[in-house]
């Protein structure tokens, strides 16, 4: 193994963790609200714009804490007034709804903040490489990796071991029985959707720290997130993490030898996975195992 390949594998893991972070909220909403949320990317961009507007008064960290919550409030409105009406229908309805929503949010951003990109600054202390040799490992990227792993771990623990988590999972497995037992399923699903959007917000802001923030930013982030979920297995948070890491490494490795195919390779992996093992790396009949 030559040095370039080692570099690319290491770098691919970092990029992959970023993809996994993008996939986290999406996987949550897909697994428990049974909704393919096409507006996830648009919510990412919107939260990043909120952060951009809040940054002058709250600073980067303050904006990172508050902006996702604002996006979450909007997610609440969307769930209660729109998504909720479609739970009993074919998932295609909510897919179309969220697709339209994505376009509306994108145009809303363009109307409020303009079509020209805006600069979102990250703390000076994070914007440097941590090592001269591994120059691609910056403080910022390390932070993104930590958030991705911590986010997955926290969500996993909540769903696995808390009352709320058990109810959400039970509700998804057998809605009627659980609601017959007196659990307010709608409230649980709303909570889950909002948490998913808050995660989208965090991912969006962290993405905008290393990418240009402009109205279509979410478009480019949505696809890797979907691929990570499909490869990792729908319904498995750990699977999404693994899926993200896998496509990150594959994409990085391909760039070293044939850069023009670096985007295509992740779709190739997805296609192969769907043919060979349709449920993905960790997707099983039961959720989250």
Place of tokens 């691929």: 227
In the complex, the smallest distance separating the C-beta of residue 69 from other proteins, rounded to whole angstroms, is: 24
d(CA 116, CA 93): 33
User: Which lies closer to other proteins via its Cβ, residue 73 or residue 127?
Assistant: 127
Shortest Å, Cβ 114 to other proteins: 8
Nearer to other proteins, 85 or 160 (CB): 85
Cβ at position 166, least distance to other proteins in Å: 29
**C-beta of 178 vs 207, nearer to other proteins:** 207
b/e 241-280 (16+ beta carbons within 10 angstroms → b): bbbbbbbbbbbbbbbbeeeeebeebbeebbeebeeeeebb
Closer residue to other proteins in complex, CB, 25/215:
215
Q: Which is nearer to other proteins, 91 or 129 (CB)?
A: 129
- Say which residues have a Cβ less than 8 Å from residue 239's Cβ, sequence separation at least 6: 229, 231, 232, 233, 280, 281, 282, 283
How many CB atoms lie under 10 A from the CB of residue 95?
A: 15
Cβ density class 33-71: b for 16+ within 10 Å, e for less:
bebbbbbbbbbbbbbbbbbbbbbeeeebeebbebbbebb
In whole angstroms, the minimum distance from the beta carbon of 58 to other proteins comes to 17
* Least distance in angstroms from the C-beta of 268 to other proteins: 14
Q: Which residues form the interface with other proteins (CB under 8 A)?
A: 3-4, 7-8, 11-12, 14-15, 18, 85, 106-107, 110, 114-122, 124, 127-129, 135-136, 138, 140-141, 207, 210-217, 219-221, 224, 251-252, 255-256, 259-260, 262-264
Q: Which is nearer to other proteins, 57 or 116 (CB)?
A: 116
Alpha carbon dihedral 26, 31, 34, 38, in 10-degree steps, equals: 10
Q: How far is the CB of 279 from other proteins (least distance, A)?
A: 27
């Amino acid at each position: 193994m030559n040095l370039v390949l080692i570099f690319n594998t290491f770098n691919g893991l970092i990029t992959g963790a970023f993809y996994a972070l993008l996939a986290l909220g999406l996987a949550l909403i897909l697994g428990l609200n049974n909704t393919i949320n096409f507006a996830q990317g648009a919510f990412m961009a919107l939260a990043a714009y909120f952060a951009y507007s809040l940054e002058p008064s709250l600073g980067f960290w303050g904006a990172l804490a508050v902006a996702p919550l604002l996006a979450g409030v909007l997610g609440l409105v969307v769930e209660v007034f729109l998504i909720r009406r479609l739970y009993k229908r074919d998932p295609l309805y909510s897919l179309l709804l969220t697709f339209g929503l994505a376009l509306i949010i994108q145009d809303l951003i363009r109307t409020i903040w303009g079509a020209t990109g805006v600069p979102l600054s990250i703390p000076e202390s994070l914007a440097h490489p941590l090592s001269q040799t591994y120059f691609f490992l910056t403080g910022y990227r390390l932070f993104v990796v930590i958030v991705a792993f911590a986010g997955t771990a926290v969500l996993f623990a909540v769903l696995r071991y808390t009352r709320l988590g058990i109810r959400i999972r039970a509700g998804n497995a057998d809605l009627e029985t659980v609601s017959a037992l007196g659990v307010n399923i709608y409230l649980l699903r709303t909570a889950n959707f909002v948490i998913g959007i808050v995660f989208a917000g965090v991912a969006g802001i962290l993405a905008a720290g290393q990418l240009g923030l402009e109205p279509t930013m979410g478009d480019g982030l949505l696809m890797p997130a979907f691929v990570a979920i499909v490869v990792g297995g729908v319904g498995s948070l750990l699977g999404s993490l693994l899926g993200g890491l896998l496509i990150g490494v594959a994409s990085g490795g391909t760039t070293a030898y044939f850069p023009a195919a670096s985007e295509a390779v992740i779709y190739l992996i997805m296609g192969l996975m769907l043919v060979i093992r349709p449920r993905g790396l960790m997707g099983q009949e039961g959720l989250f195992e």
